[in-house]
Chains A and B, each alone.
Chain A
Amino acid sequence: MTGQTMAYTPEELMAVIISREVRDFETVGVGAASPIPAAGCILAEQLQASHVTIIILGSKEYYPFPTGGSELHFLAQRGELDLFFLSGVQIDRQGNINLHVIGDYNSPEMRLPGAYGSAMLYYMAHRVILFRAEHTRRTFVERVDFITAPGITPESVRREGGPTLIVTPRAVMAWEKERREWVLAAFNPGSTIEDVKQNTGFELKAAATVKMTPPPSEEELFTLRTTVRAKLGRIYPEFAGKKIQAV
Protein backbone atom coordinates (compact mmCIF):
# COMPACT_ATOMS: atom_id res chain seq x y z
CA MET A 1 0.00 0.00 0.00
CA THR A 2 1.08 3.54 -0.55
CA GLY A 3 1.45 5.91 2.36
CA GLN A 4 -2.03 7.27 1.92
CA THR A 5 -4.76 4.77 2.71
CA MET A 6 -8.20 5.59 1.46
CA ALA A 7 -11.08 3.53 2.73
CA TYR A 8 -13.32 2.06 0.07
CA THR A 9 -15.63 -0.95 -0.19
CA PRO A 10 -14.66 -4.03 -2.25
CA GLU A 11 -17.51 -3.19 -4.63
CA GLU A 12 -16.18 0.34 -5.13
CA LEU A 13 -12.72 -1.04 -5.88
CA MET A 14 -14.11 -3.51 -8.43
CA ALA A 15 -16.21 -0.81 -10.11
CA VAL A 16 -13.12 1.40 -10.41
CA ILE A 17 -11.02 -1.44 -11.88
CA ILE A 18 -13.78 -2.21 -14.38
CA SER A 19 -14.15 1.45 -15.33
CA ARG A 20 -10.50 1.56 -16.39
CA GLU A 21 -11.15 -1.20 -18.92
CA VAL A 22 -13.89 0.70 -20.77
CA ARG A 23 -12.60 2.46 -23.89
CA ASP A 24 -14.02 5.62 -25.40
CA PHE A 25 -16.47 5.18 -28.33
CA GLU A 26 -17.21 1.57 -27.41
CA THR A 27 -20.62 -0.06 -27.10
CA VAL A 28 -20.78 -1.79 -23.73
CA GLY A 29 -23.55 -3.92 -22.31
CA VAL A 30 -24.48 -4.76 -18.72
CA GLY A 31 -26.84 -7.66 -18.05
CA ALA A 32 -29.27 -8.43 -15.25
CA ALA A 33 -28.17 -8.36 -11.59
CA SER A 34 -24.87 -6.66 -12.40
CA PRO A 35 -24.59 -3.48 -10.31
CA ILE A 36 -20.77 -3.53 -10.10
CA PRO A 37 -20.17 -3.41 -13.88
CA ALA A 38 -23.02 -0.92 -14.24
CA ALA A 39 -21.22 1.36 -11.77
CA GLY A 40 -17.93 0.80 -13.59
CA CYS A 41 -19.37 1.69 -17.01
CA ILE A 42 -21.09 4.84 -15.74
CA LEU A 43 -17.85 5.87 -14.01
CA ALA A 44 -15.91 5.39 -17.25
CA GLU A 45 -18.48 7.55 -19.05
CA GLN A 46 -17.87 10.33 -16.52
CA LEU A 47 -14.08 10.07 -16.85
CA GLN A 48 -12.12 8.78 -19.87
CA ALA A 49 -14.91 7.38 -22.06
CA SER A 50 -17.43 10.19 -22.52
CA HIS A 51 -18.52 8.86 -25.94
CA VAL A 52 -19.23 5.33 -24.77
CA THR A 53 -22.64 3.84 -25.55
CA ILE A 54 -23.86 2.09 -22.43
CA ILE A 55 -26.66 -0.47 -22.43
CA ILE A 56 -27.89 -1.52 -18.98
CA LEU A 57 -30.74 -4.00 -18.66
CA GLY A 58 -33.35 -2.61 -16.30
CA SER A 59 -32.35 1.01 -16.88
CA LYS A 60 -34.37 3.68 -18.67
CA GLU A 61 -31.51 6.16 -18.93
CA TYR A 62 -29.08 3.58 -20.32
CA TYR A 63 -31.33 1.67 -22.68
CA PRO A 64 -31.16 3.17 -26.17
CA PHE A 65 -33.82 0.91 -27.70
CA PRO A 66 -37.58 0.92 -28.31
CA THR A 67 -38.26 -2.59 -26.93
CA GLY A 68 -36.97 -4.94 -24.23
CA GLY A 69 -34.11 -7.31 -23.48
CA SER A 70 -34.05 -8.86 -26.94
CA GLU A 71 -32.44 -5.67 -28.25
CA LEU A 72 -29.18 -6.22 -26.36
CA HIS A 73 -29.29 -9.92 -27.16
CA PHE A 74 -29.61 -9.46 -30.91
CA LEU A 75 -27.16 -6.55 -30.99
CA ALA A 76 -24.55 -8.88 -29.51
CA GLN A 77 -25.50 -11.64 -31.92
CA ARG A 78 -24.90 -9.23 -34.81
CA GLY A 79 -21.35 -8.79 -33.49
CA GLU A 80 -21.86 -5.15 -32.48
CA LEU A 81 -21.19 -5.41 -28.74
CA ASP A 82 -17.63 -4.45 -27.79
CA LEU A 83 -17.68 -5.30 -24.11
CA PHE A 84 -19.96 -7.34 -21.88
CA PHE A 85 -19.81 -8.58 -18.29
CA LEU A 86 -20.61 -12.02 -16.98
CA SER A 87 -20.28 -13.72 -13.65
CA GLY A 88 -20.62 -17.28 -12.45
CA VAL A 89 -21.36 -19.12 -9.27
CA GLN A 90 -18.27 -21.05 -10.35
CA ILE A 91 -15.53 -19.99 -12.77
CA ASP A 92 -12.81 -22.45 -13.73
CA ARG A 93 -9.22 -22.59 -14.98
CA GLN A 94 -10.28 -22.91 -18.60
CA GLY A 95 -12.60 -19.93 -18.54
CA ASN A 96 -15.81 -21.95 -18.24
CA ILE A 97 -18.58 -20.29 -16.27
CA ASN A 98 -21.44 -21.94 -14.38
CA LEU A 99 -24.73 -20.14 -13.88
CA HIS A 100 -26.94 -23.23 -13.72
CA VAL A 101 -26.47 -25.71 -10.87
CA ILE A 102 -24.15 -26.73 -8.04
CA GLY A 103 -23.80 -30.51 -8.06
CA ASP A 104 -25.36 -32.88 -10.54
CA TYR A 105 -27.69 -31.32 -13.11
CA ASN A 106 -30.48 -33.83 -12.47
CA SER A 107 -30.36 -33.72 -8.66
CA PRO A 108 -28.61 -30.46 -7.87
CA GLU A 109 -27.61 -29.20 -4.44
CA MET A 110 -28.55 -25.75 -5.65
CA ARG A 111 -30.40 -24.63 -8.73
CA LEU A 112 -29.79 -21.11 -9.97
CA PRO A 113 -32.28 -18.88 -11.72
CA GLY A 114 -30.78 -19.25 -15.18
CA ALA A 115 -28.26 -17.90 -17.56
CA TYR A 116 -30.12 -15.37 -19.66
CA GLY A 117 -28.26 -15.38 -22.97
CA SER A 118 -24.80 -16.09 -21.55
CA ALA A 119 -24.23 -19.07 -23.79
CA MET A 120 -24.44 -16.71 -26.76
CA LEU A 121 -23.13 -13.46 -25.25
CA TYR A 122 -19.86 -15.05 -24.07
CA TYR A 123 -19.08 -15.87 -27.71
CA MET A 124 -20.33 -12.79 -29.48
CA ALA A 125 -19.23 -9.82 -27.35
CA HIS A 126 -15.75 -8.78 -28.49
CA ARG A 127 -14.44 -8.75 -24.93
CA VAL A 128 -16.00 -10.28 -21.84
CA ILE A 129 -14.92 -9.30 -18.35
CA LEU A 130 -15.94 -11.72 -15.63
CA PHE A 131 -16.63 -10.30 -12.19
CA ARG A 132 -17.18 -12.00 -8.87
CA ALA A 133 -17.39 -10.31 -5.46
CA GLU A 134 -16.42 -13.57 -3.73
CA HIS A 135 -12.88 -14.72 -4.48
CA THR A 136 -12.61 -18.11 -2.77
CA ARG A 137 -11.72 -21.68 -3.62
CA ARG A 138 -15.39 -22.56 -3.94
CA THR A 139 -15.99 -19.96 -6.65
CA PHE A 140 -12.70 -20.35 -8.57
CA VAL A 141 -12.54 -24.07 -9.20
CA GLU A 142 -10.51 -26.49 -11.31
CA ARG A 143 -13.65 -27.56 -13.20
CA VAL A 144 -17.16 -26.12 -13.02
CA ASP A 145 -20.05 -28.50 -12.18
CA PHE A 146 -21.92 -27.32 -15.27
CA ILE A 147 -20.58 -25.43 -18.28
CA THR A 148 -23.13 -22.71 -18.94
CA ALA A 149 -20.75 -21.07 -21.38
CA PRO A 150 -17.29 -22.35 -22.28
CA GLY A 151 -14.03 -20.39 -22.26
CA ILE A 152 -12.70 -22.37 -25.21
CA THR A 153 -14.60 -23.37 -28.36
CA PRO A 154 -13.66 -25.36 -31.45
CA GLU A 155 -12.55 -23.51 -34.59
CA SER A 156 -15.76 -24.49 -36.36
CA VAL A 157 -17.86 -22.20 -34.13
CA ARG A 158 -18.09 -18.48 -34.88
CA ARG A 159 -16.72 -16.64 -31.89
CA GLU A 160 -16.17 -12.89 -31.89
CA GLY A 161 -14.49 -12.78 -28.52
CA GLY A 162 -14.51 -14.47 -25.19
CA PRO A 163 -12.89 -14.23 -21.80
CA THR A 164 -10.59 -11.27 -21.25
CA LEU A 165 -10.29 -10.55 -17.54
CA ILE A 166 -11.64 -11.61 -14.17
CA VAL A 167 -12.09 -8.83 -11.62
CA THR A 168 -12.49 -9.75 -7.93
CA PRO A 169 -11.88 -7.90 -4.67
CA ARG A 170 -8.48 -9.62 -4.44
CA ALA A 171 -7.09 -9.52 -7.96
CA VAL A 172 -7.26 -9.12 -11.69
CA MET A 173 -6.69 -12.29 -13.68
CA ALA A 174 -6.04 -12.13 -17.42
CA TRP A 175 -6.90 -14.72 -20.06
CA GLU A 176 -3.85 -16.17 -21.82
CA LYS A 177 -5.13 -17.09 -25.24
CA GLU A 178 -2.22 -19.36 -26.19
CA ARG A 179 -2.07 -21.21 -22.89
CA ARG A 180 -5.89 -21.25 -22.62
CA GLU A 181 -5.90 -20.39 -18.95
CA TRP A 182 -5.95 -17.50 -16.52
CA VAL A 183 -2.81 -15.84 -15.22
CA LEU A 184 -2.52 -13.47 -12.31
CA ALA A 185 -2.08 -10.00 -13.82
CA ALA A 186 -2.41 -7.84 -10.70
CA PHE A 187 -3.20 -8.19 -7.03
CA ASN A 188 -5.35 -5.53 -5.43
CA PRO A 189 -4.38 -3.20 -2.59
CA GLY A 190 -4.71 -5.13 0.67
CA SER A 191 -4.00 -8.46 -1.02
CA THR A 192 -0.80 -10.28 -2.05
CA ILE A 193 0.20 -12.79 -4.73
CA GLU A 194 0.16 -15.49 -2.04
CA ASP A 195 -3.27 -14.46 -0.79
CA VAL A 196 -4.71 -14.64 -4.31
CA LYS A 197 -3.17 -18.05 -5.03
CA GLN A 198 -4.36 -19.47 -1.72
CA ASN A 199 -7.92 -18.41 -2.41
CA THR A 200 -8.03 -19.72 -5.96
CA GLY A 201 -9.06 -23.35 -6.40
CA PHE A 202 -6.91 -23.94 -9.47
CA GLU A 203 -3.20 -23.50 -10.00
CA LEU A 204 -2.79 -19.87 -10.92
CA LYS A 205 0.42 -18.89 -12.67
CA ALA A 206 1.64 -15.36 -12.32
CA ALA A 207 2.12 -13.20 -15.40
CA ALA A 208 5.71 -12.22 -16.26
CA THR A 209 5.21 -8.96 -14.39
CA VAL A 210 2.57 -8.93 -11.69
CA LYS A 211 1.74 -5.45 -10.48
CA MET A 212 -0.33 -4.13 -7.67
CA THR A 213 -3.58 -2.62 -8.94
CA PRO A 214 -3.30 1.15 -8.54
CA PRO A 215 -5.73 2.08 -5.76
CA PRO A 216 -8.75 4.20 -6.68
CA SER A 217 -7.73 7.82 -7.18
CA GLU A 218 -9.47 10.65 -5.37
CA GLU A 219 -11.13 11.66 -8.64
CA GLU A 220 -12.37 8.13 -9.30
CA LEU A 221 -13.81 7.73 -5.81
CA PHE A 222 -15.37 11.17 -5.72
CA THR A 223 -17.06 10.71 -9.11
CA LEU A 224 -18.20 7.23 -8.16
CA ARG A 225 -19.72 8.48 -4.92
CA THR A 226 -21.50 11.47 -6.43
CA THR A 227 -22.62 11.34 -10.09
CA VAL A 228 -22.36 7.57 -10.49
CA ARG A 229 -24.06 6.82 -7.18
CA ALA A 230 -27.01 9.02 -8.14
CA LYS A 231 -27.40 7.49 -11.60
CA LEU A 232 -26.91 3.94 -10.31
CA GLY A 233 -29.47 4.58 -7.59
CA ARG A 234 -32.18 4.81 -10.24
CA ILE A 235 -31.34 1.26 -11.40
CA TYR A 236 -30.00 -0.44 -8.28
CA PRO A 237 -31.21 1.66 -5.33
CA GLU A 238 -30.26 -0.83 -2.63
CA PHE A 239 -26.77 -1.49 -3.98
CA ALA A 240 -26.06 2.20 -4.60
CA GLY A 241 -27.21 3.07 -1.10
CA LYS A 242 -25.31 0.33 0.72
CA LYS A 243 -22.18 -0.43 -1.29
CA ILE A 244 -21.23 2.97 -2.68
CA GLN A 245 -20.45 5.39 0.10
CA ALA A 246 -21.99 8.82 0.25
CA VAL A 247 -19.63 11.79 0.13
Chain B
Amino acid sequence: MYSMVQAGSMGVPFTAVRGLIGSDLMKHRPDFVVMDDPFNPGEQVVVTRPLRPDVAVFHALRADRFGNAITPGLREDLMMARAARLVVVTAEEIADKELGVQDAPHNTFLPAIDVDVVVHTPGGAHPCGCEGLYREDQVHLQEYLDASKEEETFRIYLDRYIKSGGGQREYLGRVGLQAGSGGVG
Protein backbone atom coordinates (compact mmCIF):
# COMPACT_ATOMS: atom_id res chain seq x y z
CA MET B 1 0.00 0.00 0.00
CA TYR B 2 2.74 2.47 0.96
CA SER B 3 4.67 1.41 -2.12
CA MET B 4 1.60 1.94 -4.31
CA VAL B 5 0.99 5.44 -2.95
CA GLN B 6 4.67 6.25 -3.15
CA ALA B 7 4.73 5.11 -6.78
CA GLY B 8 1.72 7.36 -7.37
CA SER B 9 3.63 10.28 -5.88
CA MET B 10 6.61 9.54 -8.11
CA GLY B 11 4.69 9.20 -11.34
CA VAL B 12 6.26 5.85 -12.26
CA PRO B 13 4.18 3.30 -14.22
CA PHE B 14 4.63 0.47 -11.69
CA THR B 15 6.63 -0.42 -8.63
CA ALA B 16 8.19 -3.52 -7.09
CA VAL B 17 7.29 -4.81 -3.62
CA ARG B 18 9.10 -7.45 -1.58
CA GLY B 19 7.35 -10.38 0.02
CA LEU B 20 3.79 -11.25 -0.98
CA ILE B 21 4.65 -14.31 -3.11
CA GLY B 22 3.01 -17.26 -1.34
CA SER B 23 0.30 -15.13 0.24
CA ASP B 24 -3.33 -15.80 -0.73
CA LEU B 25 -3.53 -12.07 -1.47
CA MET B 26 -1.98 -12.94 -4.83
CA LYS B 27 -5.14 -14.93 -5.71
CA HIS B 28 -7.42 -11.96 -5.12
CA ARG B 29 -5.39 -9.01 -6.35
CA PRO B 30 -5.14 -8.79 -10.13
CA ASP B 31 -3.05 -5.66 -9.62
CA PHE B 32 -0.26 -7.75 -7.99
CA VAL B 33 1.81 -9.44 -10.71
CA VAL B 34 4.80 -11.75 -10.30
CA MET B 35 7.73 -11.16 -12.59
CA ASP B 36 11.39 -12.09 -12.83
CA ASP B 37 13.66 -9.44 -11.39
CA PRO B 38 15.42 -8.21 -14.54
CA PHE B 39 18.51 -7.27 -12.53
CA ASN B 40 18.74 -10.45 -10.43
CA PRO B 41 18.21 -13.52 -12.60
CA GLY B 42 16.42 -16.34 -10.79
CA GLU B 43 14.69 -14.00 -8.33
CA GLN B 44 10.97 -13.37 -8.50
CA VAL B 45 9.32 -10.20 -7.34
CA VAL B 46 5.83 -8.67 -7.22
CA VAL B 47 5.11 -5.55 -9.23
CA THR B 48 2.03 -3.43 -8.71
CA ARG B 49 0.33 -0.29 -9.93
CA PRO B 50 0.69 3.20 -8.55
CA LEU B 51 -2.29 4.55 -6.60
CA ARG B 52 -3.50 7.91 -7.91
CA PRO B 53 -6.61 8.99 -6.00
CA ASP B 54 -8.83 11.48 -7.85
CA VAL B 55 -9.15 13.59 -4.72
CA ALA B 56 -7.33 13.71 -1.39
CA VAL B 57 -8.64 15.77 1.53
CA PHE B 58 -6.42 16.81 4.43
CA HIS B 59 -7.51 18.59 7.56
CA ALA B 60 -4.97 21.20 8.60
CA LEU B 61 -4.28 23.12 11.78
CA ARG B 62 -3.46 26.17 9.68
CA ALA B 63 -3.28 27.07 6.02
CA ASP B 64 -2.52 30.28 4.15
CA ARG B 65 -4.13 31.91 1.12
CA PHE B 66 -1.49 30.40 -1.19
CA GLY B 67 -2.21 26.80 -0.19
CA ASN B 68 0.64 26.17 2.23
CA ALA B 69 -0.75 24.03 5.05
CA ILE B 70 0.27 22.47 8.32
CA THR B 71 -1.36 19.14 9.17
CA PRO B 72 -1.13 17.62 12.63
CA GLY B 73 1.55 15.07 13.47
CA LEU B 74 4.11 13.41 11.26
CA ARG B 75 2.46 11.31 8.61
CA GLU B 76 2.62 10.50 4.90
CA ASP B 77 0.46 13.49 3.96
CA LEU B 78 2.97 14.90 1.48
CA MET B 79 3.35 11.57 -0.30
CA MET B 80 -0.43 11.14 -0.42
CA ALA B 81 -0.98 14.70 -1.64
CA ARG B 82 1.45 14.17 -4.49
CA ALA B 83 -0.22 10.89 -5.43
CA ALA B 84 -3.67 12.52 -5.63
CA ARG B 85 -4.85 14.48 -8.68
CA LEU B 86 -6.83 17.09 -6.72
CA VAL B 87 -5.77 18.11 -3.21
CA VAL B 88 -8.24 19.83 -0.89
CA VAL B 89 -7.14 21.23 2.47
CA THR B 90 -9.72 22.06 5.10
CA ALA B 91 -8.20 24.24 7.80
CA GLU B 92 -9.05 25.15 11.38
CA GLU B 93 -7.51 28.56 10.82
CA ILE B 94 -6.33 30.71 7.92
CA ALA B 95 -3.00 32.32 8.70
CA ASP B 96 -2.55 35.99 7.91
CA LYS B 97 1.06 35.44 6.80
CA GLU B 98 2.69 33.08 4.36
CA LEU B 99 3.46 29.76 6.06
CA GLY B 100 6.72 27.88 5.61
CA VAL B 101 8.24 24.60 6.69
CA GLN B 102 9.74 26.40 9.72
CA ASP B 103 6.19 26.85 11.07
CA ALA B 104 5.70 23.08 11.33
CA PRO B 105 8.51 21.65 13.47
CA HIS B 106 6.45 18.79 14.89
CA ASN B 107 3.78 18.67 12.22
CA THR B 108 3.61 18.04 8.52
CA PHE B 109 4.10 20.84 6.01
CA LEU B 110 2.21 20.69 2.72
CA PRO B 111 3.65 23.24 0.29
CA ALA B 112 1.31 25.32 -1.84
CA ILE B 113 2.60 23.67 -5.01
CA ASP B 114 1.01 20.39 -3.88
CA VAL B 115 -2.31 21.91 -2.75
CA ASP B 116 -5.18 22.93 -5.05
CA VAL B 117 -7.96 24.14 -2.76
CA VAL B 118 -8.12 25.55 0.78
CA VAL B 119 -11.38 25.71 2.72
CA HIS B 120 -11.68 27.45 6.08
CA THR B 121 -13.40 24.78 8.18
CA PRO B 122 -13.19 25.17 11.97
CA GLY B 123 -14.08 21.90 13.68
CA GLY B 124 -13.67 20.21 10.31
CA ALA B 125 -12.25 16.98 11.66
CA HIS B 126 -15.42 16.24 13.63
CA PRO B 127 -16.40 13.56 14.63
CA CYS B 128 -12.72 12.67 14.57
CA GLY B 129 -10.21 14.63 16.60
CA CYS B 130 -7.69 17.25 15.58
CA GLU B 131 -4.42 16.65 17.39
CA GLY B 132 -3.66 19.31 19.95
CA LEU B 133 -7.03 21.06 19.54
CA TYR B 134 -9.85 18.64 20.27
CA ARG B 135 -10.40 14.93 20.78
CA GLU B 136 -12.67 12.62 18.87
CA ASP B 137 -16.39 12.75 19.71
CA GLN B 138 -16.93 9.22 20.99
CA VAL B 139 -20.69 9.59 21.34
CA HIS B 140 -21.14 10.85 17.80
CA LEU B 141 -18.76 8.25 16.38
CA GLN B 142 -20.84 5.52 18.00
CA GLU B 143 -23.99 7.02 16.53
CA TYR B 144 -22.32 7.06 13.12
CA LEU B 145 -21.16 3.44 13.48
CA ASP B 146 -24.61 2.26 14.53
CA ALA B 147 -26.27 4.19 11.71
CA SER B 148 -23.88 2.84 9.08
CA LYS B 149 -24.96 -0.77 9.65
CA GLU B 150 -28.08 -0.43 7.44
CA GLU B 151 -28.82 1.60 4.32
CA GLU B 152 -31.98 3.06 5.83
CA THR B 153 -30.49 4.15 9.15
CA PHE B 154 -27.52 5.64 7.33
CA ARG B 155 -29.84 7.62 5.05
CA ILE B 156 -31.55 9.04 8.13
CA TYR B 157 -28.15 9.93 9.57
CA LEU B 158 -27.13 11.75 6.36
CA ASP B 159 -30.46 13.61 6.18
CA ARG B 160 -30.21 14.69 9.77
CA TYR B 161 -26.59 15.88 9.93
CA ILE B 162 -25.26 16.38 6.42
CA LYS B 163 -28.07 17.14 3.98
CA SER B 164 -30.21 19.37 6.13
CA GLY B 165 -28.78 22.62 4.80
CA GLY B 166 -26.31 25.27 5.77
CA GLY B 167 -22.56 24.98 6.07
CA GLN B 168 -19.97 24.03 8.65
CA ARG B 169 -21.43 26.39 11.27
CA GLU B 170 -24.86 24.77 10.94
CA TYR B 171 -23.34 21.28 11.01
CA LEU B 172 -21.48 22.05 14.23
CA GLY B 173 -24.71 23.44 15.67
CA ARG B 174 -26.55 20.22 14.84
CA VAL B 175 -23.91 18.06 16.54
CA GLY B 176 -24.06 20.34 19.57
CA LEU B 177 -20.83 22.28 19.05
CA GLN B 178 -19.92 25.84 18.33
CA ALA B 179 -17.19 26.93 15.95
CA GLY B 180 -14.39 28.94 17.50
CA SER B 181 -15.58 28.36 21.07
CA GLY B 182 -12.77 25.93 21.78
CA GLY B 183 -15.48 23.55 22.87
CA VAL B 184 -15.32 21.35 19.79
CA GLY B 185 -15.22 17.71 20.89
A residues near B (Cβ < 8 Å) are 63, 65-70, 73-74, 77, 100, 105, 115, 117, 119-124, 146-150, 152-154, 156-159
What are 29 A-B pairs with beta-carbon distances under 8 A? A67-B74, A67-B76, A68-B73, A68-B74, A69-B2, A69-B75, A69-B76, A70-B6, A73-B2, A74-B2, A77-B17, A100-B24, A105-B24, A115-B25, A117-B1, A120-B17, A124-B19, A146-B24, A147-B24, A149-B23, A150-B23, A153-B21, A153-B22, A154-B44, A156-B44, A157-B19, A157-B43, A158-B18, A158-B43
Contacts of B68 in A (CB 8 A): none
| Chain B 38-55 residues near chain A, CB threshold 8 A | 42-45
Give the contacting residue for B22; candidates A73, A74, A157; CB below 8 A.
A157
Assess A119 versus B25: contact at CB under 8 Å? Given A124-B18, A156-B44: yes
5 closest residue pairs by CB, A with B = A120-B19, A150-B22, A68-B75, A123-B19, A70-B2
Verify A105–B28 contact, CB threshold 8 A: yes
Given contact pairs A70-B2, A158-B43, a sample of 4 additional A-B residue pairs in the complex whose CB atoms are under 8 Å apart: A70-B6, A119-B19, A121-B19, A146-B24
- B1-38 interface code vs A (CB 8 A; 1 in, 0 out): 11000100000000001111111110110000000000
Find the residue from A67, A73, A105, A159 having the highest chain B CB count within 10 A. A67
**A190: shortest Cβ distance to chain B, in Å?**
36
Say yes or no: A122-B19 contact (C-beta < 8 A), given A65-B74, A66-B74.
yes
Question: Which residues of B are at the interface with A, using a C-beta cutoff of 8 A?
Answer: 1-2, 6, 17-25, 27-28, 42-45, 73-76, 78-79, 108
- CB <8 Å contact, B75 and A152: no
**A77/B28 in contact, CB under 8 A:** no
Residues of chain B within 8 A (CB-CB) of A119 are: 19-20, 23, 25
A195 to B38 CA separation, bound complex (whole angstroms): 51
Verify A156–B19 contact, CB threshold 8 A. no
A152 to B79 alpha-carbon distance, docked (Å): 33
Residues of B within 8 A of A149 (CB): 19, 22-23
- The distance from the CB of A106 to the nearest CB of chain B, in whole angstroms, is 9
User: Are B20's CB and A156's CB within 8 A?
Assistant: no
Residues of A within 8 A of B44 (CB): 154, 156-157
Q: Are B18 and A77 in touch, CB under 8 angstroms?
A: yes
- How far, in angstroms, from A67 to B71 measured CA to CA in the complex? 12
Give chain B residues whose Cβ lies under 8 Å from the Cβ of A123.
Answer: 18-19
Q: How near does chain A come to B132, taking the closest CB pair, in angstroms?
A: 12
CB-defined contacts of A66 to chain B, threshold 8 Å: 74
| CB-contact partner of B23 in A73, A124, A147, under 8 A | A147
A152 x B24 contact (CB < 8 A): no
- Give the chain A neighbours of B2 by CB distance below 8 A: 69-70, 73-74, 117
Give the one of A119, A121, A146 with max B CB within 10 A.
A119
Q: Report the minimal beta-carbon distance from B68 to chain A, rounded to whole angstroms.
A: 18
Q: How far does the Cβ of B109 sit from chain A's closest Cβ, in whole Å? A: 11
Within the assembled complex, what's the spacing in Å between the Cα atoms of A153 and B21? Answer: 7
Residues of B within 8 A of A148 (CB): 23-25
Residue of B nearest to A65 (CB): B74
* B2: nearest chain-A partner, CB-CB: A70
Report the minimum CB–CB distance from A87 to chain B (whole Å): 16
A219 → B minimal CB distance (Å)? 35
Give the shortest distance, in Å, between A80 (CB) and chain B (any CB).
13
| Interface hub of A63, A115, A124, A158 (most chain B Cβ within 10 A) | A158
* Residues of chain A within 8 A of B79, CB atoms compared: 67, 70
A157 touches B28 (CB 8 A): no
Of B1, B17, B73, B75, most A-chain CB atoms within 10 Å: B1
Q: Separation in Å of the A158 CB from the closest CB of chain B?
A: 6
What B residues does A67 contact at CB under 8 A? Answer: 74-76, 78-79, 108
* Complex Cα–Cα for A149 and B20 (A): 7
B105 CB to closest chain A CB (Å) equals 10
